[in-house]
Chains A and B, each alone.
Chain A
Amino acid sequence: MSNHKVESKSGLVTRRQVVTGLAVAGVASTLPSSRLFAADLNVDKFLKVSALLTGIALDKSYIQLGNTIWEQVTRDASPSVLGQWTDMINRLAYLPSGASSDDIKNTLRSVGPIATPMAMQLTKVWYTGRIERTPGVFEVINYDEALVWQACDFTKPPVTCGGPFGYWAKPYLKGAV
């Protein structure tokens, strides 16, 4: 990760700290309205495809987060690239829920060369709640709702109460704390 030192009025800070500060401020600000779903794509379809890619069911309680993620992954997309995003979602939506990784990859290949990287980015953002704008520089979208905490349901997002005191001494049991 790049970590160039930057001299500022306030003394020595790392480049990453500067970038991070700006990035978080950017996420907190009002999101652009130009990336609403296109006419032939809606949030339900987006959630269905997101569930397919991530292997985790996403009900309507994810509408808000789904909108935010769509806005973030397409923030800098040109109209042409936005069209490819829409095309990818629409094509994947034909797959049955629970489709295998290979079925998903085959469909992505049939959409076009940038469909796979787009799907990978979307899946990462859902799983991690963060987006990598440039290599090694991340912005946080929503840490607590990152799907990794559902995938790893033996734990919880840090700074979240994990359970009654001492729960950690017991073996993890599916469905228990």
Chain B
Amino acid sequence: MANSSPKSNTGDINADIVIVGAGLFGGLMAWYLRTHLPNKSVVLIDSGPVVDRVEAVKRFKESPEKGGNSAYKTVPWAPIPPEDDPAAYYDQKDHDSKNPLEQIGFGALYMRTVGGTSWHFTGHAERMYPNDFRMQSAYGRGLDWPISYKTLEPYFAQVEEAWGVAGNNSCVAPTPHPYPLPVVPLTYLDHQVNKAAEALNDSLGPLPHCRNSVPYDGRPQCCGNASCRFICPVGAKYDGSVHVEKAQGLGAVLYANSVVEKINVGADKKVASLQFKNYTDPAHPVTGTATAKLFILAAHAIEIPRLLLMSKGKNTPKGVANSSDQVGRNLMSMVGINSSGYVPEPVYPFRGPVNATGVFRELRDGAFRKDYASIGTIVINGGFNPTNGPLNEADDAVDDNLFGTELRARVFNKTASQVYLDNSVEMLPNSENRITLSDEIEGETGLPRPKIDIRIDDYTLDGTYVSWKRTQDILVQMKAIFNGVPIATPTRAAFDDLVAKQGVQAGAAMIAGTTRMGTDPKTSVVNEWCQSHDHDNLFIAGTGCYVTAGSVSPSLTAAAIGLRASEYIATNFKKITG
């Protein structure tokens, strides 16, 4: 069963508000605006299809890879970076560079479907830390945001209510505060890692999750399907489709499979319309124009700048919202080198919510950020490979010529003793890290692919070393082995050798900064309300607005910023649109 019914193939669209991107932020904003502006029509346009959860689970089971995107239908008119080869979509020179100060492989992933990337996000619903918003003032690094943690606090709470965030005051979070749902407990594995962490003067705590610890908002309680990084088969994990459907229930209209190709700006500097192509009938796509009084772009921090840059015209010679030349710049992700090993006693990964329930308490924020980057280290509940890990152990055991009960025991012991620690390290804004338009044209749509240019600095590289040292130290403490030998005590020299061999990659979880927020129209793209400095009826939502990124999961903060922008739009709609 489809979980929402988009409008079928159509030509032109007219509405009071048009939102491009029916994902985590677009859906939430559509729901808010239909709730608070019930007399204003709202249209959501998304390049991808509606996800059918039943079909997605079937597709996941049939996929040999069982990766992040495996459950989802990729349509040719909305291409995405493949998980196993992101450079098949991203045009990135030297993406396999071994010198991270010159270039890092950009492996950040996203999806183009109704509900967006949240279909396979971790479900970690963390608030950014107060100092993440004032990096320059606090640590002399990066920039300060035009808004503070305090400004966002009520919106954080609203998002937590809307999503159903589970937590308590034992959670690793910047401030104690009430959560709508009880905490998601740590796993047995987390507790075993915590023993090692405590011996090293660190500790683990639970993450806040947007997965139901009790039934909430018509969605069931989590029963530990061990697949939520890929797809939650029961909808216990929140995803963006929830509020897309709520918005539809309030009268918002969804156009799926519709690729916006250009934004048209009038001589009055207002956005006048969007050109799009509807692929509901892929053999006969229909070109249309969407007109509205107000437009919101909520299509992720790669596709939004791509669209803005594609929209050069008489009134926008550098692209839309780009008089500052900041569109696409300051691309941020998180980097990290992870640690893995087999410990002597079973710790039983692959149970409960995979990805992670536990996070290290230290090195999220503190005076160390004057010297090196913030670090998020989580314990992956899914071992070395959350879906095929046990299968790979079986293959390895058979390759070692084991059969019968000895084989069975080997598969059990190796699988049960896997420990995998994942590091995410903050990047600071750098105007040379950017997405531009590639000369290479994407096949089906004839539109340019995104071109990526990104590297880290010593601040992030030093943070990467500290994070790797911490996780290697934990494995040493746990007496772990890998490739048949004990994990060695980590040194900077060993780290440098490792980097020289494998480089550093940007991970999957964060894409930010490419339409950043600021008070100065010369150095930023949007103001504190996510409103374009150049076009007052254009708002840009999502992580692209981030000024700095920190090391927490990015979605909750972006949603809070989106709700705050929605409130501003609802309050000032008449003033903005004349």
Binding site for B on A (CB under 8 A): 1, 3, 5, 7-14, 16-17, 20, 23-24, 27-28, 52-56, 98-101, 104-105, 116, 119-120, 123-124, 127-130, 137-140, 143-144, 146, 148-149, 151-156, 158-172
Contact = CB atoms under 8 A, between A and B. Distances in A.
B65 interface: yes
A8 B443 contact: yes
A151 B381 CA distance: 18
A168 B185 CA distance: 8
> Most A CB atoms within 10 A — which of B191, B214, B411?
B411
B89 A161 contact: no
A55 B405 contact: yes
B268 interface: no
Contacts of B157: none
B442 A162 contact: no
Given A101-B406, A171-B348, A152 B416 contact: yes
A14 B84 contact: yes
B416 A169 contact: no
Interface in B212-226: 213-214, 221-226
B225 A159 contact: yes
Contact of B223 (A5, A11, A165): A165
Contacts of A105: 401, 403
B435 interface: no
Interface string B68-111: 00000011110100101100110000000000000000000000
B223 A124 contact: no
A47 to B, nearest CB: 15
B63 A20 contact: yes
A58 to B, nearest CB: 12
A130 B64 contact: yes
Interface in B393-444: 393-395, 398-399, 401-409, 411-412, 415-416, 442-444
Given A99-B404, A167-B351, A16 B84 contact: yes
Nearest to A116: B401
Contact of A11 (B76, B227, B408): B76
A151 B357 contact: no
6 contacts: A10-B76, A24-B62, A120-B401, A151-B411, A154-B350, A155-B226
B233 interface: yes
A1 B386 CA distance: 19
Nearest to B62: A24
A156 B226 contact: yes
Contacts of B444: 9-11
Interface residues of B, number: 73
Nearest to B83: A14
A149 B88 CA distance: 34
Q: Is the interface of A mostly helix, strand, loop or mixed?
A: mixed
Contacts of B407: 53-55, 101, 123, 127
A147 to B, nearest CB: 8
B391 interface: yes
Interface string B373-395: 00000000100001100110111
A53 B411 CA distance: 13
Nearest to B395: A124
A144 B404 contact: no
Contact of A146 (B75, B79, B391): B391
B42 interface: no
A52 B402 CA distance: 12
B224 A140 contact: no
A123 B401 CA distance: 11
Given A104-B404, A120-B399, A128-B394, A148 B443 contact: no
Given A151-B412, A168-B187, A163 B224 contact: yes
B506 to A, nearest CB: 19
Contacts of A140: 61-64
B398 A120 contact: yes
B405 A152 contact: no
A158 B65 contact: no
B487 interface: no
B346 interface: yes
B223 A164 contact: yes
A162 B351 contact: yes
B66 interface: yes
B231 interface: yes
Contact of A162 (B64, B74, B223, B402): B223
Contacts of A120: 398-399, 401
B406 A55 contact: yes
B57 to A, nearest CB: 5
Contact of B64 (A20, A166, A172): A20
B394 A172 contact: no
B404 A54 contact: yes
Contact of A163 (B79, B84, B223, B415): B223
A124 B61 CA distance: 18
Contacts of A116: 401
Contacts of A104: 403-404
B442 A55 contact: no
A17 B411 contact: no
B82 A14 contact: yes
A14 B395 CA distance: 25
B394 A127 contact: yes
Contacts of B386: 158
Given A55-B408, A124-B394, A127-B391, A158 B416 contact: no
B352 interface: yes
B167 to A, nearest CB: 14
Given A12-B88, A100-B406, A151-B394, 8 more contacts: A9-B444, A53-B404, A120-B398, A152-B411, A158-B386, A163-B223, A165-B213, A169-B188
